[in-house]
């Protein structure tokens, strides 16, 4: 059976980096890790083809070749997924769907033939067994969570790696915390489940042997959920793996309590990590209490961020406005915190309520849900009715984004960060496209851009003050170009 695995397109949003990727001649930030893993779980004798709509088109020849189409994706890919499904039905192809989008919204996609939901390690084998017997069901759901030690290595040969800015790898699923707006624990539970260090090394070997030398994203929602295993097993194994190898810088997601563990930060840096995304959410204790963000409370958040920066890990921060306890002064406090922290990549979004979360259930009881959950943190939309009023919320939100991504404030924030940041121990090799990115940035930002003065000031400031961080300064400048475009596209 010819299996076509399709990854729907991601719209232009904060994490798409759509306006930054052309500087390094890449098509997409990240590969479809879930589909590549599913492909490895299908019968080996089945011919397989992956079409990622973020790097290529779905052609008529692809559809004519296929007997069955597997489609996955996130909520933000909903519109593209619906278009793919419609094209497949016109060809009378069988469609098998899974992943977070379909797990969260199974009733929306009537045209899908088979829903293989929750974690594929559990539900896909049951579907394949029924398919072999000629009796496949419409919906497959899991009871409980899978053992990640059984997850296979993704089939990297099914994609063109050179089309992507980063590769991806998953070490764990689940998060020990209880944030009421987050659906991670709804999907994956509170107890972090992990792969063995040997599995992770085998996946890294597969990526490295395929010729990859650039960034690798550990996609865990909270990489440090099992600190003991990290410190005693995984990170020492990564440090050992790195010996004699070039490049392959890691980045991931973690919680702010990373700042409380100097040993863990030291091991992460030595293993090759150089940045972490952390959900800061709000500098207001009342808002953190409201959303049950206990790990962020009763601490100096600014000092925690600076501690992580000084360790050699760049903090990329997530922020939210629209909590019931937020007031009009919240917007200015968010601006001040972001600027003082030196968090250059600051994703500020309106509060949304994903289906299945405690926040969704509470607002549903209060009749305060409106519209559809978009899955996009920064498109200027929300599916809740905020207590402060939607117009007030939107006006304050726009003021934050206008301020933090104006060239003057953005470039000032880069300098604040570079003053604190300890130069990383591991770096990606400077390939031809990344070298060319400097010249493209010099023209696009330094000559044609409105930020030309701030750009050149940063260039010379960095060369004088922090020359080892010069490539990072250029990269962050390019990110700023992308963030401003997203602001103009969705918010302004």
* Class level of CATH domain 3-140: alpha beta
Band (pLDDT 50/70/90 cuts) for residue 319 is very high
Domain made up of 165-420: CATH architecture: Alpha-Beta Barrel (3.20)
Share of the chain above pLDDT 70, in %: 100
pLDDT at position 428 is 79
pLDDT at position 285 is 96
Asked if residue 425 has pLDDT above 90, the reply is no
Asked if residue 234 has pLDDT above 90, the reply is yes
Domain residue spans of the chain:
3-140, 165-420, 432-491
Asked if residue 69 has pLDDT above 90, the reply is yes
Q: Report yes or no: 49 and 65 within 8 Å, Cβ to Cβ.
A: yes
Model confidence over 142-164: pLDDT tens digits?
999 999 999 999 999 999 999 99
Share of the chain above pLDDT 90, in %: 94
Asked if residue 312 has pLDDT above 90, the reply is yes
Band (pLDDT 50/70/90 cuts) for residue 171 is very high
pLDDT at position 492 is 75
- What is the mean predicted confidence (pLDDT) over 397-420? 97
Burial readout 80-110 (b: 16 or more C-beta within 10 A, e: otherwise): bbeebbebbeeeebbbbbbbbbbbbebeebe
Give the side-chain half-sphere CA count within 13 A for 65: 15
pLDDT at position 237 is 98
Model confidence over 93-117: pLDDT tens digits?
999 999 999 999 999 999 999 999 9
Q: Report yes or no: 225 and 264 within 8 Å, Cβ to Cβ.
A: no
| Domain pair 3-140 / 165-420, same fold | no
Asked if residue 432 has pLDDT above 90, the reply is no
Model confidence over 285-304: pLDDT tens digits?
999 999 999 999 999 999 99
The residues, any chain, with a CB within 8 Å of residue 390's CB and separated by 6 or more, are 382
pLDDT at position 255 is 97
Tokens of 1: 């059976």
One DSSP character per residue, 18-59 reads TTTGGGGT-SBSS--HHHHHHHHHS-TTS-EEEEETTTS---
The mean predicted confidence, pLDDT, of the chain is: 96
Asked if residue 182 has pLDDT above 80, the reply is yes
Asked if residue 3 has pLDDT above 90, the reply is yes
Name the pTM for this structure: 0.96
Asked if residue 424 has pLDDT above 90, the reply is no
- What is the mean predicted confidence (pLDDT) over 430-451? 93
DSSP three-state, residue 61? helix
- What is the mean predicted confidence (pLDDT) over 197-205? 98
Asked if residue 371 has pLDDT above 90, the reply is no
């Amino acid at each position: 059976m010819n299996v076509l695995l399709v990854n729907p397109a991601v719209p232009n949003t904060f994490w798409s980096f759509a306006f930054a990727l052309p500087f390094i001649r890449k098509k997409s930030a990240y590969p479809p890790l879930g589909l590549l893993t599913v492909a490895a779980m299908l019968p080996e004798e089945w011919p397989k083809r992956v079409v990622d709509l973020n790097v290529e088109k779905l052609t008529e020849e692809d559809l004519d070749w296929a007997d069955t189409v597997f489609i996955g994706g996130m909520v933000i890919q909903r519109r593209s997924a619906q278009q793919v499904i419609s094209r497949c039905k016109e060809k009378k192809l069988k469609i098998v769907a899974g992943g977070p989008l379909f797990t969260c919204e199974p009733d929306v996609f009537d045209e899908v033939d088979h829903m293989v939901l929750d974690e594929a390690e559990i539900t896909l084998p049951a579907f394949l067994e029924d398919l072999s017997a000629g009796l496949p069901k419409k919906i497959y759901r899991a009871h409980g969570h899978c053992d990640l030690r059984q997850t296979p290595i993704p089939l990297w040969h099914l994609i063109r790696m050179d089309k992507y800015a980063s590769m991806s790898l998953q070490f764990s699923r689940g998060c020990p915390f209880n944030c009421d707006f987050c659906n991670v624990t709804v999907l994956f539970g509170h107890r972090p489940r992990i792969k063995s260090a040997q599995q992770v090394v085998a996946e890294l070997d597969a990526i490295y042997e395929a010729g990859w030398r650039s960034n690798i994203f550990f996609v865990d929602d909270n990489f440090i959920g099992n600190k003991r295993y990290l410190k005693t097993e995984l990170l020492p194994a990564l440090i050992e793996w790195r010996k004699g190898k070039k490049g392959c810088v890691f980045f991931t997601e973690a919680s702010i309590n990373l700042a409380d563990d100097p040993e863990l930060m030291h091991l992460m840096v030595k293993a090759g990590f150089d940045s972490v995304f952390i959900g800061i959410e709000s500098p207001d204790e009342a808002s953190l209490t409201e959303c049950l963000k206990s790990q962020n409370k009763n601490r100096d958040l600014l000092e925690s961020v600076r501690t992580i920066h000084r360790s050699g890990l760049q903090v990329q921060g997530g922020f939210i406005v629209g909590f019931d306890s937020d007031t009009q002064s919240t917007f200015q406090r968010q601006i001040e915190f972001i600027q003082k922290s030196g968090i250059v990549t600051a994703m500020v979004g309106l509060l949304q309520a994903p289906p299945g979360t405690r926040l969704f259930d509470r607002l549903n009881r209060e009749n305060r849900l409106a519209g559809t959950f978009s899955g996009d943190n920064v498109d200027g939309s929300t599916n809740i009715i905020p207590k402060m009023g939607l117009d007030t919320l939107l006006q304050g939100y726009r003021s934050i984004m206008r301020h933090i991504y104006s060239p003057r404030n953005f470039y000032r924030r880069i300098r604040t960060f570079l003053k604190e940041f300890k130069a990383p121990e591991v770096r990606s090799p400077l390939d031809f496209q990344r070298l060319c990115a400097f010249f493209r940035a010099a023209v696009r930002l330094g000559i044609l851009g409105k930020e030309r003065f701030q750009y050149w000031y940063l260039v010379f400031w960095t060369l004088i003050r922090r020359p080892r961080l010069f490539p990072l300064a250029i990269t962050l400048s390019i990110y700023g170009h992308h963030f401003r475009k997203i602001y103009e596209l969705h918010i302004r």
